[in-house]
Amino acid sequence: MREVTISMDQEAPFHNNVDYCVGTGRMGLALHKEYWEQLALVQKAIGFSYIRGHGLFCDDMAIYQEYKTEDGQLESEYNFTYLDRVVDSYMELGIRPFLELGFMPEKLASGTQTQFYWKGNVTPPRDYEKWCALVQETLRHLLGRYGEEEVLSWPVEVWNEPNLTGFWEHADMEEYFKLYECTSYAIKEVDPRIQVGGPAICGGCDEKWMKGFLSHCQDKGLPLDFISRHHYTTELPKPNGHYGYVELYTSEYAFSTLRDCRKMIDSYAEYKDLPFYITEFNTSYIPNAPIHDTNENAAYLARMLSEIGDFCTGYSYWTFGDVFEEQGVPFTPFHGGFGLVANGCIPKPAFWTFYFYKQLKGKGVYRDEHMVVTQEKDGTVRGVVWNLTRESGCEHWDCKLHIPVEEKRYCCVRQIVDEQVCNPLKVWHDLGEPASLKNEQAELLRAAANPSILTECLVPSSGQLELEIGLGKNSVMYFEIQEAALRSDRGFEYGKY
């Protein structure tokens, strides 16, 4: 059995920013009741600070409108009814927008190309002036409604994945630079304190785009308060019916792509300290990849969250929930959606990986490819441990931790998520994979989607606690060790009755 000795004196590298931001399907879906309930569940357990998604300017949000004046002129007008409703509901849940500007309102579009089942128009504006006015009016409205202090804390990202032909007509880089330039100046005109960034590109650290963008901004002295890109870690999916099956990158390879990107940014003296956000990440980038619903996804993410903070200022898991329509409306509650939560408000295993990381407080005292351990000032030790079977090669993985402590009585609480005890996908399969859940099935799934909780009393020997850990296939475990002096009531003797 592996033995690990924790030393409390050293600080281990670990940048926990797990609750910074989370992704979401297009903004119009935020009007849905099921969306709200899933987000409420996520916020109660994890409590993200920001939420980022597409579709702010898509037609279902109905912001951009036009009408003919009596003399036949086409005038713009703005409808903030739904935007207010969405942002109000975010504020109610203690989360704020990380604004992504896009896609193009049909009435403002120069072309007809659309993306997704929900047909987001991805062509440049037919009139850049009207586009800038739209951006400015929207920001001014938000400043008016939510106040400066609030809105100035919302980063603004220009467009989404312009390096893909699906998201930006012809993936035309020069046109994107034009969009970025006029948009960033328009934003600063509203208030120079608003943070603006890009290029929000997908895929590996494309020299052409990332370097091109940074050089362009540097050369022209454009406003640039942060840099953003996305991070998915699988090969191309193989489709079958409604689904796509994928091959994961190794964790090491995944980290190397981020490391390279960071280096490239840092090679620009001017941008060395600039905030860098991974505004989307997940394993697969398709919303119908069954891997998203599995315990393996949870274990893979456990590893990912242990190091991703080394490379960036913040990151945003794509997405919090499964109210999502990019490939159409899902036919079944489990369908390989991106969400931490399945439809019916059922937490998936990955939900708990985020929940567990959220518990980690204090300084890092240990990290390797299987665990992260932190310690708070009051002495509490917490850790997340995982067995990503594809990388560990172990169906069952063991370890013994030695933790130096004072001579007291301690309680260790463990929460375990693995394929046996917290695997709602399996329960759903055993139930026959019903497309429509009956109420009692939904309740059963929710009840079966909780970690198993175990406590034990620990007393140190020779100044150390020994914690034996055994993890099943694709298991993720959280533990917490706190002082727990025994103060029995008069006459009470545990174990006797």
Residue given tokens 């055994």 in the structure block: 470
Q: Which residues contact 12 (CB under 8 A, 6 or more apart)?
A: 364, 365, 366, 367, 372, 373
Q: How far is the CB of 346 from a copy of itself (least distance, A)?
A: 13
Element (H, E) at 75: strand 74-78
67 contacts a copy of itself (rule: CB under 8 A): yes
Residue 483 β-bridge partners: 410
- Using CB under 8 A, which of the segments 102-110, 361-369, 375-383, 408-416 binds a copy of itself? 408-416
Identify the CA nearest to 28 among candidates 103, 140, 138, 123. Answer: 103
Check 100, 157, 169, 280 and give the catalytic one.
Answer: 280
Which residues between 172 and 231 bind a copy of itself (CB under 8 A)? none
Task: From 77-85, 191-199, 218-226, 298-306, give the range in contact with a copy of itself by CB under 8 A.
Answer: 77-85
Site for a copy of itself in 22-51 (CB under 8 A): 31-36
All residues at 6 or more sequence positions from 489 whose CB lies less than 8 Å from its CB, including other chains = none
Determine the Cα–Cα distance for residues 155 and 194; give it in Å rounded to an integer: 7
Retrieve residue 36's tokens.
Answer: 């709200």
Q: Which of residues 283-322 bind a copy of itself (CB under 8 A)?
A: 289-291, 294, 296
| Rounded-to-integer distance, Cα 73 and Cα 75, Å | 6
Q: Decide: is 330 part of the binding site for a copy of itself (CB under 8 A).
A: yes
- Does the annotation count 270 as an active-site position? no
Residue 280 designated active-site: yes
In this complex, which beta carbon is closest to a copy of itself, that of residue 152 or of residue 435? 435
Q: Give, as ranges, the residues between 88 and 117 that touch a copy of itself (CB under 8 A).
A: 89
Q: Which residue has the tokens 């049909």?
A: 106
Considering the rule CB under 8 A, would residue 249 count as an interface residue with a copy of itself?
Answer: no
- Which of residues 142 and 210 has its CB atom nearest to a copy of itself in the complex? 142
CB atoms within 10 A of CB 127: 14
Radius of gyration of the chain (CA): 24
Tell me whether residue 26 or residue 216 sits nearer to a copy of itself (CB atom): 26
3-class SS string, 274-336: CCEEEEEEECCCCCCCHHHHCHHHHHHHHHHHHHHHHCCCEEEECCCECCCCECECCCCCCCC
Q: How many residues bind a copy of itself (CB under 8 A)?
A: 79
Distance CA 338, CA 344 (A): 15
9 lies in the binding site for a copy of itself (CB under 8 A) = no
Contact of 423 with 349, CB cutoff 8 Å: yes
- Is the bond into 233 cis (omega within 30 degrees of 0)? no
- Residues of this chain, 411-450, that bind a copy of itself according to CB under 8 A: 411, 413, 420-421, 425-427, 429-436, 438, 444, 447-448, 450
Smallest distance from a copy of itself to CB 197, Å: 27
Give least dist CB 309 to a copy of itself, A: 25
Kindly give, in sequence order, each residue whose CB lies less than 8 Å from that of residue 110, ignoring residues fewer than 6 positions away. 104, 123, 124, 125, 126
Q: Considering beta carbons, is residue 146 or 213 the nearer one to a copy of itself?
A: 146
CB of 289 to a copy of itself, least distance (A): 7
Are the beta carbons of 415 and 339 closer than 8 angstroms? Answer: no
Annotate each residue in 346-385 with x if it binds a copy of itself (CB under 8 A) or - if it does not, as one string: ----------------------------------------
Q: How far is the CB of 485 from a copy of itself (least distance, A)?
A: 5
| Closer to a copy of itself by Cβ: residue 67 or 192 | 67
Task: Please give the residues from 127 up to 146 whose contact with a copy of itself meets the rule CB under 8 A.
Answer: 141, 145
Select the span of 12-20, 190-198, 241-249, 302-310 touching a copy of itself (CB under 8 A).
241-249
What is the sign, positive or negative, of the torsion defined by CA atoms of 438, 441, 443, 446? negative
We find the least distance from the C-beta atom of residue 26 to a copy of itself, in angstroms, to be: 13
Q: Does 73 bind a copy of itself (CB under 8 A)?
A: no
Instruction: Quote the least distance from Cβ 324 to a copy of itself, whole Å.
Output: 11
CB of 132 to a copy of itself, least distance (A): 22
Q: Which residues contact 189 (CB under 8 A, 6 or more apart)?
A: 136
Q: Interacting stretch for a copy of itself, rule CB under 8 A, among 171-179, 211-219, 267-275, 454-462? A: 454-462
Site of tokens 């050089």: 215
Catalytic residue numbers, as ranges: 161, 280
